[in-house]
Structure 1
């Protein structure tokens, strides 16, 4: 799989010119030899094995897969056919994009890629003939007997093709490869140089990439597909004279700005350097980069996992500005970066947790560039990125996590940017009205019926707001500090004291039936188990809600000891399970460290060691979930060193357990932070004692300043739990003490839609607060449950001392007690819309199915019978169905409506046929309505499923089946 034939002498020469901090750290061989880029290319890691430079614009890598979830990076280790080699790739994402400008050497002019099983330019290959190293990739193509080698600079790269002696030499340029092409062009500048562009649409809706490439020898003939040099279907075949030698090199530069940018990028970065010179240079850069942390151990697997992880943290975000500083901004216009490099690919929902805190240690100058980039994106596009990709806001994931990245850096002394503008952008992000923020600001939580993923958004917004408060306090902005510290406590409004879980508030009652194992629309890529421990800014406050340290510890024990299975909708991201702890997805990443907060650090040590040694392997499927642009690997890097960033912007790291006998972090300020672990081994995973600069250190947390000042941290390890760091004065504390809020009360019992009457019980998570309510004009103090027997509007709030919560308004609906509904098929609990009476409760669904107002049925017909209690005259029957095909929700193929006087003999009064499903992302509500006046008692609705998804749908290849979403059978 790997080759260790490195040009060590050249690498050492290169390093001799680099000013590295003086350190006694020792490496027995080049650190790049420990990096295995194939790790993560199997399973669901979604990484790529090709050549790239640290944080580089170009990712020159092989393409073995054209689509599908496990094809997000363009390569999967289980594949055996190579389509070619493109110049942009994403590392570990859950959505596909990139794969731009494919080149493929072959022996004949053929434009079909062969994916359809017909003759094409793709070739079989074997992993035995494949090599991947930092900055270098090589493979042998079996079908054409051609060897391919790839290497790169920052914005440019080289291909080296060694054809079989005497074979035809043809290179296919495919600008159609992978995502939808909006426009493409090839310009023949000469018989050795071509240039052009490719504009495409995928995750990024308008990606613009320009290229300039030069061949090492002239082509003798060029053939275009359909004679087209530009348009949406541009491919070309370049033929070369085999008599001039069997080696062909292609040098290429890319740019998001224009063709001149692409030309200048390769000219200034590569120029006339040979392939070997470029390879030596990039591997020297990688060696220097990896030397930022030197670990020493006799365990070669641990070192491979460590340096591969460190490597993975350094391949994104990606430089997006050209050598002259020009770049394409979020307004798709060209801008100039004068004193920094501009970046893209910020997977912030993932990377704010550990990757960016790692960068504040080993990439401080680059962190300044990241934040300058955030500010620029704010100026260009009106908001800081949540998940930006190639000058596009993708709208992916939740939170506004550029905010804690800035706060964490600022509070650690990284301030080489416009601090006031950064703070302005942070507040701007938090004060939007979209993505549920309007309701979050008004109520202190996001109601289920107002916004999807309401629990996760509430919790993550609260953490982001707390980080704004910390920066505001440092800047002396007291009013902002108060506002955002209060908002940092809004997580309390999602806590259900009875179940001890974070739950969705549906019409101010708890979403029910409740199953903490259920993956549903209240959470982001998770269930309640995996979000109920998320209040890293106020773990003491969360602990108080749960009833104290013992209760929090008990809940953590239950988390790690729970059954592994989840219920509800399938969520491919929930992997790497230890109980319901899901290491393959980010919301779980801090949980193992929470035992330190309850005086049980040995449990943290056990769990962290288990994760490090069981969920990271030196195999293609060695990452337990999507790599997510460095976050999975950053967790490993930090945790294997012995600490983790549970609460970025607190300037503290929580100590876990070290994996290496010695580790040295070489800092940009010239200091070296050294970690020693005496007697560490597979069994000696427990900490017996710690010394900081030779002095006894009884605390189970570490301060950022200690790292940056370059102290020595020495662990004494043993094979049994000890009493180290178990006293209250030695444990970490994250706590919000000032500006305490009063959580909003909730409806603990009572039906929002009821027959006859319903008894309402109000409750608050704050036992000290008083609750007030009104069903009319005057508020009265809540003393005991009360009864509602008519349609009513309930308003309620809680108060304590001189503070009060938000006022929460809930409408109660009275269902005609004579009307009954008999559901012949069972809805999915996660889409229950309030229960059995949801289709007759008078509440009509909106266009967002995730707000809980629709009843969902998976892969089955819907049959429902409404009994009006007695025969009535009715002018129409209306039934609503939702279409949201991106979410696999299709209209029924046909809807039949019947009526009956006796409930036995039914007569059809409507037979609606759905048009054939078309490939569209448009969301719509379809109303099916009868057209005749009748006297009847019973109405039966039959909605027929589509079943297997159409061939054009993404789910077709996975044998996907359709959902029917129905709401409100209205009889008028």
Structure 2
């Protein structure tokens, strides 16, 4: 009966009357938030105290090492280092955890292993804006709360403690470039920390005040106390302060990227007193205001399951609001991308934009429920462009990390503009967008020159081509809305470049190399042609032209079948290990973002019920109200935003398009409280009757029958009510009759590039080269003399014999329009050398085949482009057989060093000679000239003058061995990357 009563009580609470977000909030939504969701598994979240989009994220630090230490905290850890003031939510790369405070008793110690403490989960709790734990080692209770720019600590020392300390550690975690601490008075300290990690140059100032005077203090440099000094500067600066009879001590810490004075202004403005409870209460009020923007109720006939879904929902909404983060002080000052101080006038300046992730769902969600803040995001982007010369890609603490691919501030800007958010300079925005995609970086030059990023030129070429085409479509839409026809024409053509990596013969997105397709090809292989994924996970990434993709695949039925195979295949991932590719349903990977729109693509077929099935499956199987309740990295809100907006029954598959796909509403009732004062309600009352009611049988919009499987943005924004009737069995007739969404490029259609079919870029025996084009009816013209082909060049009608080094250039022409020139050069390998490898190379890091080392094609400094052969744990041992004794004058082995990724030059290369292949004599040892500490990515030739006659030469490249102690992955085995052996 207790369980039953509890369930009725929870359901009753969930349907309480909710006022618009601008009015007083009467319900405590924070009780439905569990900040520990995502702190286990690979979610990489943190549980600490933070305000919505706050500058301060005050949270415990329990783990810095390994991938699951990115946020500084992991759920199963039982030792806490201290409590720092900045944290990243759900990223896959570590940073932050700046300005660490740790209360202790007894002798003050400065090494982490000495001052850290155990803690128990039973003593740990968290709600939005508040965190609590007990330090077992010291019996000190710790409570944390925060305002936007200030972290507030409450330490409760044991009654028996006659004195108590607070350790302040500025050296902890990442590389410190500079730091200092200064004692202002017996109540106040201030300091500075400049560090290098994911952000190359991050500055954090702090100002701390204490509720009672400290009796004494000590500042240490390199863990040695500097007696009597009130200020110490260096790269390893720490401090202790000591209180008599401490009892309860309140510590408030303001931070700033600008100055210690700015940190003090933030502190005095936001927390003028030491009322911890008031700060905590205000944080709860702020969170309830934000969380009340969406009201959900029901979701299951089981009260317990309904409660779990609501906890998952509101925690997801909470996670959406942890980033981006305010970065300007209360007076508007902030450190810009040029590392100079600027003032934000009329807006807040933000940082921490995980744009490759969030443009897909989080930013479209904000365009519904947080339009004012979205406008500030865009104005922040333009400030970054003005100060740094580039729209942001992944900005962190006013540093550009260049993380991930694409230029995805562009779809955020365009989606905001398309949805009526216009409080920014549109002309400057368009200028900035065009500048971003017309620069020469990350394969953009290759993309513009050839219509696709070539894998010979740039790693992750397929992903970059597809993401660049999405950005270009967005620029085209912005140009159209601003009446810029010339720009529209250029960028709507570029938006179709996805066609140049679509292989019509196998139906997959495949890398282009040397005029042909990258081979061998396996759509399950995770390799350097894709960003955190494989061809399955990228072959549907054309949200700007879904109908164009459907046409290429062969129509709706074929497209539906291809989607079915994606979700149901039993094939496993192959190739490189990639921890981000998680949450697998077939080859669909919900744990990584490129898959996030794919379940909604069935709406473009005659089987929208499959969208409903898979959306429901993902909502219920890939999320839970547990520490491991996320199937992948939270990624600054994207993983949670997918849950929030999908559970409302809608999803914007392409920013800038004005259609929300209708999926499967998870809750019996959901109300979106819009900033214009209106409400949009989604009802799925049958969800409260049975968990099996997952197929839409009918819809009404504002009480009138509705026959579209999408909603226009304005329909939602203007308020109204969508009521869906759901059942346990799909209605195929009803599905087929529904009006489908549109996503199609019809203007300035391009001709896809032709491609050459050849065995490889090198050959020993003559072969016939075949040229094809994915566009039916296109004619192909080619040249073999190095000139550019035109319509007056030779018409391709039959395979081309290749018997020597040959360069083929070809174009495809249809309806008077020409493709880009497609070029391939095929090299005949010298046949007088036989090469044998004693130790096998690594299949995942190799240009495959023994003859790679003697094919005349040299590897580039970017090892991901291929041509290198990788060895780990064994030496490279190669035997050259010249067929008979011949004069050998000089020999050389080309190698690569990129110590950051464990690729290190061999200690030395030896050259041994033999006439019979049995008895070898050492003729030369060539040592490396470059230290492993040199982090420059570079190549080195190990060259020896042999001046001898021999039949066999044995080449031995000696591994460096385990990585040195200074390396972040010390002790791990290094790699040798080798290419090309040259012989004179």
**TM-score, normalised with respect to structure 2:** 0.94
Q: Which residue of 2 aligns with 1:700?
A: 709
Quote how far apart the aligned CAs of 1:220 are: 0.5
Are 1:879 and 1:929, in contact at CA under 8 Å, matched by a contact in 2?
A: yes
More displaced stretch, 761-770 vs 855-864 = 855-864
2:39 aligned to which of 18, 38, 41 = 41
Pairing of 1:865-944 with structure 2 (within 5 A) = 865-914=879-928, 918-944=932-958
1:620 aligned to which of 617, 627, 638 = 627
Q: Is 1:969 aligned with 2:978?
A: no
Pairing of 1:204-603 with structure 2 (within 5 A) = 204-225=199-220, 226-228=224-226, 229-242=232-245, 246-272=247-273, 274-297=275-298, 298=303, 299-563=306-570, 565-603=572-610
| Structure-2 separation of matches of 1:579 and 1:600 | 19
Quote how far apart the aligned CAs of 1:256 are: 0.5
Q: Equivalent residue of 2:950, what SS?
A: strand
| Structure-2 separation of matches of 1:365 and 1:574 | 34
Pairing of 1:638-677 with structure 2 (within 5 A) = 638-677=645-684
Q: Equivalent residue of 1:618, what SS?
A: coil
Q: Which residue of 1 aligns with 2:132?
A: 138
Q: Which residue of 2 aligns with 1:801?
A: 815
Q: Which residue of 2 aligns with 1:5?
A: none
Q: Which residue of 1 aligns with 2:3?
A: none
Are 2:18 and 2:295, in contact at CA under 8 Å, matched by a contact in 1?
A: no
Q: Equivalent residue of 1:813, what SS?
A: strand
| Structure-1 separation of matches of 2:560 and 2:910 | 54
Q: Which residue of 2 aligns with 1:52?
A: 50
1:196 aligned to which of 174, 191, 210 = 191
| Structure-2 separation of matches of 1:609 and 1:336 | 46
**Relative to structure 1, is the Cα distance of residues 931 and 110 closer, same or farther in structure 2, using a 3 angstrom cutoff?**
farther
| Structure-1 separation of matches of 2:145 and 2:379 | 30
Are 1:113 and 1:121, in contact at CA under 8 Å, matched by a contact in 2?
A: yes
Are 2:250 and 2:274, in contact at CA under 8 Å, matched by a contact in 1?
A: no
Deviation digits for residues 828-877 of structure 1, max 9, x if unmatched? Answer: 34433264421111111111101112122343332222333443322111
Q: Equivalent residue of 1:574, what SS?
A: coil
Quote how far apart the aligned CAs of 1:821 are: 2.2
Are 1:41 and 1:621, in contact at CA under 8 Å, matched by a contact in 2?
A: yes
More displaced stretch, 625-634 vs 798-807 = 798-807
Are 2:899 and 2:932, in contact at CA under 8 Å, matched by a contact in 1?
A: no
Are 2:781 and 2:811, in contact at CA under 8 Å, matched by a contact in 1?
A: yes
| Structure-2 separation of matches of 1:603 and 1:856 | 43
| Structure-1 separation of matches of 2:471 and 2:107 | 55
Deviation digits for residues 431-478 of structure 1, max 9, x if unmatched? Answer: 111110000000001111111111100010001101110111111111
Q: Which residue of 2 aligns with 1:6?
A: none
Deviation digits for residues 695-730 of structure 1, max 9, x if unmatched? Answer: 111211121111100110111010111137633761
Quote how far apart the aligned CAs of 1:271 are: 0.7
Q: Which residue of 2 aligns with 1:743?
A: 752
More displaced stretch, 727-736 vs 370-379 = 727-736
| Structure-1 separation of matches of 2:913 and 2:312 | 67
1:688 aligned to which of 693, 697, 706 = 697
- Ranges in structure 2 where 5+ consecutive residues have no aligned partner: 1-12, 227-231
Quote how far apart the aligned CAs of 1:302 are: 0.1
| Structure-1 separation of matches of 2:218 and 2:499 | 65
1:774 aligned to which of 783, 790, 793 = 783
Quote how far apart the aligned CAs of 1:923 are: 1.3
Are 1:599 and 1:725, in contact at CA under 8 Å, matched by a contact in 2?
A: no
Quote how far apart the aligned CAs of 1:519 are: 1.2
| Structure-2 separation of matches of 1:928 and 1:481 | 52
Q: Equivalent residue of 2:533, what SS?
A: coil
Quote how far apart the aligned CAs of 1:218 are: 0.6
| Structure-1 separation of matches of 2:289 and 2:383 | 29
**Relative to structure 1, is the Cα distance of residues 728 and 432 closer, same or farther in structure 2, using a 3 angstrom cutoff?**
farther
| Structure-2 separation of matches of 1:575 and 1:165 | 49
2:763 aligned to which of 743, 750, 754 = 754
Are 1:612 and 1:640, in contact at CA under 8 Å, matched by a contact in 2?
A: yes
Quote how far apart the aligned CAs of 1:914 are: 4.6
| Structure-2 separation of matches of 1:554 and 1:910 | 61
| Structure-2 separation of matches of 1:595 and 1:398 | 26
| Structure-1 separation of matches of 2:964 and 2:771 | 48
Quote how far apart the aligned CAs of 1:948 are: 3.9
| Structure-2 separation of matches of 1:421 and 1:725 | 47
Q: Is 1:846 aligned with 2:860?
A: yes
More displaced stretch, 572-581 vs 742-751 = 742-751
Quote how far apart the aligned CAs of 1:264 are: 0.7
Quote how far apart the aligned CAs of 1:913 are: 4.1
Are 2:709 and 2:738, in contact at CA under 8 Å, matched by a contact in 1?
A: no
Q: Equivalent residue of 2:655, what SS?
A: coil
Q: Equivalent residue of 1:422, what SS?
A: helix
Q: Equivalent residue of 1:837, what SS?
A: helix
Q: Which residue of 2 aligns with 1:718?
A: 727
Q: Which residue of 1 aligns with 2:175?
A: 180
Are 1:537 and 1:647, in contact at CA under 8 Å, matched by a contact in 2?
A: yes
Are 1:564 and 1:578, in contact at CA under 8 Å, matched by a contact in 2?
A: no
**Relative to structure 1, is the Cα distance of residues 712 and 22 closer, same or farther in structure 2, using a 3 angstrom cutoff?**
farther
Are 2:103 and 2:165, in contact at CA under 8 Å, matched by a contact in 1?
A: yes
Quote how far apart the aligned CAs of 1:533 are: 1.0
| Structure-1 separation of matches of 2:574 and 2:897 | 24
Quote how far apart the aligned CAs of 1:616 are: 0.5
| Structure-2 separation of matches of 1:44 and 1:548 | 38
Q: Equivalent residue of 1:875, what SS?
A: strand
| Structure-2 separation of matches of 1:870 and 1:502 | 47
Quote how far apart the aligned CAs of 1:592 are: 1.1
More displaced stretch, 293-302 vs 911-920 = 911-920
**Relative to structure 1, is the Cα distance of residues 954 and 556 closer, same or farther in structure 2, using a 3 angstrom cutoff?**
farther
Quote how far apart the aligned CAs of 1:939 are: 2.6
Are 1:21 and 1:667, in contact at CA under 8 Å, matched by a contact in 2?
A: no
**Relative to structure 1, is the Cα distance of residues 67 and 503 closer, same or farther in structure 2, using a 3 angstrom cutoff?**
same
Q: Equivalent residue of 2:945, what SS?
A: coil
| Structure-1 separation of matches of 2:914 and 2:553 | 53
| Structure-2 separation of matches of 1:902 and 1:835 | 25
Deviation digits for residues 600-640 of structure 1, max 9, x if unmatched? Answer: 11111111111111110111111111100000000000111
| Structure-1 separation of matches of 2:141 and 2:316 | 28
More displaced stretch, 217-226 vs 275-284 = 217-226
Q: Equivalent residue of 2:537, what SS?
A: coil
Are 1:83 and 1:113, in contact at CA under 8 Å, matched by a contact in 2?
A: no
Q: Equivalent residue of 2:216, what SS?
A: strand
Q: Equivalent residue of 2:284, what SS?
A: helix
Kindly report structure 1 stretches of 4+ aligned residues shifted beyond 6 Å: 15-19
Provide the aligned length of Structure 1 versus Structure 2: 948
Q: Equivalent residue of 1:730, what SS?
A: coil
Quote how far apart the aligned CAs of 1:888 are: 2.0
